[in-house]
Amino acid sequence: MPIRRGVRRPPPTPAPPTSRICIARATGGEVKCWDGFTGMAFSPDSTLVLLKKEKSLFIGKIAGVKPDPPVKVIDGVDGAATWTPGTVAAPIEPRRPGSKEFEL
């Protein structure tokens, strides 16, 4: 292809930004990273981390030299999330207008 003088090529299109969460442990100085995830919260004992990828929540283990792949715990999450103590058996169903539970 001949080079045309005076015609500039457009700048290259930058790659889309990717998210990456990294955690540094205070004891031992270990650093763990998960590509493509967003960090949401730590477990109360700081051994696990709650991660979000698109509309799914995952739990990742912090301890160990090489972290295990995060485990998916729920799909269809839209918005913020946090860690709560105890076990949640199932997602809470939204209240329907006109029901007794809807009225305060």
Q: Which two tokens stand for residue 77?
A: 């999450």
The answer as to whether 6 is a domain residue is no
| Full-model pTM | 0.61
The answer as to whether 63 is a domain residue is yes
The answer as to whether 55 is a domain residue is yes
Mind listing the pLDDT tens digit of every residue in the chain (104 residues)?
566 677 788 888 877 667 888 888 777 777 888 888 888 888 888 888 899 988 889 988 887 777 678 989 888 887 777 777 665 555 556 666 665 554 44
The pLDDT score that the predictor gives to residue 3 is 62
Domain coverage including residue 64: 20-75
The answer as to whether 15 is a domain residue is no
The answer as to whether 56 is a domain residue is yes
Number of domains forming the structure of the chain: 1
Task: Report the distance separating Cα 57 and Cα 73, nearest Å.
Answer: 6
The answer as to whether 87 is a domain residue is no
